Amino acid sequence: MHPAPSIIVFTTFSGLGFGLMAMLGLGAGKGEGWIAATFCALALGLAGAGLLASLFHLGQPSRFLKAFSQWRSSWLSREALLAVATLLVFGAYAALWSLAGLRLAALGLLAAALAVATVFATSMIYAQMKSVPRWRSPLTPAIFLFASLSGGALLAGETRPATVLLAALGVLQLADWFRGDGRFAAAGSTMATATGLGALGRLRLLEPPNTGPNYLLREMVHVVGRRHSRRLRPIGFTAAVVLPIALLAPGAAGHLTVGLAVLAHVAGILVLRWLFFAEAEHVVGLYYGKR
């Protein structure tokens, strides 16, 4: 599928912001006053920037309020409602911590739970899509959650939890690539099943349905991205997982190395999130003789 820049920025930075909210709500981050305010502002800023970027992915950004109306059936609506609830609850938690030096454990736990639920809802937008077999897996929400929490732990300066979460993220990502590469074929979707003409014998595409590019080809079929994926996978994996773990090694972690680990992780997640979309094979490509 087409990896739109707005959706990559949204899923990456909102995930980091909500991950940091979850870690702060659970008690990570030491200090009061301006230190606490900096942590909280960073979390709210990242989440807010990510959510703002998501508006550019809407066909009609001016109608964004409609995204809240279908919460009974739409994970996108659930994500929107959970995001607003998280921002409100964490905003109250942040104000009490920054201004009064008061960290209410119950309020923090609620903010953390809502932040995790928001990231889960984001991941389920993709994981519930039958038309993209690569995404339809429990590994999709697991990767989103561990990417969010590991980034949040890094930003909070919690090096030991960050190392464990990064290692888990690495295992999940490798497992997803191992299983995901064969998931489209395993789903059994072919040109014959897509057209319903399999009973006539072996099918081949005589001519494409369109003489030029169209919306489906632009948005749902992105063959170029998959062609470069074998090169980008080790780059993204090394930057997102391997380098941060190496920089957080006992005895090596300091303010500078933690900062470098954060930068490497964010850069790596951007690459991995681009691959997440670019490698996704949508069944609509079968009508065009593509995957």
Q: Is 13 helix (H, G, I), strand (E, B) or coil?
A: helix
The answer, yes or no, to whether residue 77 has pLDDT greater than 60, is yes
Predicted pLDDT of residue 175:
95
Render pLDDT for 104-154 as a digit per residue (tens, 0 to 9).
999 999 999 999 999 999 999 999 988 788 888 999 999 999 999 999 999
166 and 244 Cβ atoms separated by less than 8 Å = yes
168 versus 69: which is more confidently predicted? 168
Q: Write down the pLDDT at residue 114.
A: 97
pLDDT, position 100: 87
Model confidence at 198, in pLDDT bands (50, 70, 90)?
low
Q: Give the pLDDT confidence score for residue 153 in this predicted structure.
A: 96
Unique residue bearing structure tokens 């736990």? 109
C-alpha to C-alpha distance for 219 and 4, rounded to whole angstroms = 9
Q: Is the pLDDT of residue 87 over 90?
A: yes
CATH of 5-288, one of 1.20.1630.10, 3.40.50.300, 3.40.1170.60, 3.40.309.10: 1.20.1630.10
Q: Is the pLDDT of residue 38 over 70?
A: yes
DSSP H helices, the chain, are 5-25, 34-55, 75-100, 105-127, 139-155, 159-180, 183-187, 191-195, 215-220, 223-227, 229-237, 243-247, 255-278
Q: CA-based angle 208:211:215, to the nearest 5?
A: 90
- Asked whether the beta carbons of 77 and 71 are under 8 A apart, the reply is yes
Q: What is the pLDDT of residue 150?
A: 97
| Predicted pLDDT of residue 147 | 97
Task: List the one residue out of 96, 91, 64, 99 whose CA is nearest residue 80.
Answer: 64
Question: pLDDT confidence of 31, banded at 50, 70, 90?
Answer: confident
